[in-house]
Amino acid sequence: MATILNIETSTDVCSVCLSHDGEMKFHDADYKGRNHATVLGGFVKNALDYAKMCEMKLDAVAVSIGPGSYTGLRIGLSEAKGLCFGLDIPLIGVNTLKLLSVAVMFSKNIGPDDYFVPMIDARRMEVFTAVYDLALNEVMPNQAMILDENSFADLLESRKLHFMGNGADKASDLIKSQNAEFTLGIRPNASDMIALSEKAFRENDFLDLAYSTPNYIKKFHTTTPKKNVLGCQPTK
């Protein structure tokens, strides 16, 4: 009967969920945009206060590990690591694309041979995506993909694909197969992490607190500006 704090900050929604024995006990979320650094600490405090009030001892912290927003992922992982270090409890990493699949997994129109295709917007016509079967086994690995009208054409010839996530919103304008089912408006949320974090806890599937990093898929690049705002060359 594990008590797990789930943290999701991979896109424009920031959310926290406290689960106990696989059931959601507390949930808070901000849907206004990228205010993660401002609101996350308060959400976590409220969740911990609720756990204390209910005499629930936290057993682990789970965090959405990516892919997604570089800044959002770093904020979430940093908060999760700090809690785990302070409380001496394990850290669980949840794949963001898998948790998107969970959000539509129990829809009535899912067939036994259907696949899930979660998508996270990576700007322009690029998305972070993967393909999973109904057991969330990986059919196509996590990757960055530039969308066009022929994306997933081979798979769509033989089975129905269920697309979800903010990347699927723009894919729906390109992919017109009758086997393409789009569930629009779905965003990663901590409430959809519960089954995945519980499974990881049961299997002792924990991250290394010291060395774990977000799954960016693409390298995170920083550049040094040639001139600062005053027009001066930076000094070395």
Residues 5-24, mean pLDDT to the nearest whole number:
97
What pLDDT digit, counting tens, does each position of 132-179 carry?
999 999 999 999 999 999 999 999 999 999 999 999 989 999 999 999
The answer to whether the Cα torsion of 178, 161, 129, 92 is positive or negative is positive
Q: What is residue 219's predicted lDDT score, i.e. its pLDDT?
A: 66
Tokens of 51: 């756990």
pLDDT at residue 51 above 90? Answer: yes
Cα 168 to Cα 1, 32, 121, 122, distances in angstroms: 36, 20, 8, 11
What pLDDT digit, counting tens, does each position of 69-116 carry?
999 999 999 999 999 999 999 999 999 999 999 999 988 789 999 999
Type of residue numbered 124: R
What pLDDT digit, counting tens, does each position of 171-210 carry?
999 999 999 999 998 999 999 999 999 999 999 999 999 9
**3, 51 contact by CB (below 8 A):** yes
**13, 29 contact by CB (below 8 A):** yes
Q: What is residue 235's predicted lDDT score, i.e. its pLDDT?
A: 47
Q: What is residue 106's predicted lDDT score, i.e. its pLDDT?
A: 84
Better-scored residue on pLDDT, 68 or 229: 68
How does residue 35 score in pLDDT terms, banded at 50, 70 and 90? confident
Type of residue numbered 216: Y
Q: What is residue 224's predicted lDDT score, i.e. its pLDDT?
A: 46
Q: What is residue 127's predicted lDDT score, i.e. its pLDDT?
A: 97
Domains of the chain, first to last: 3-95+188-202 (3.30.420.40), 104-183 (3.30.420)
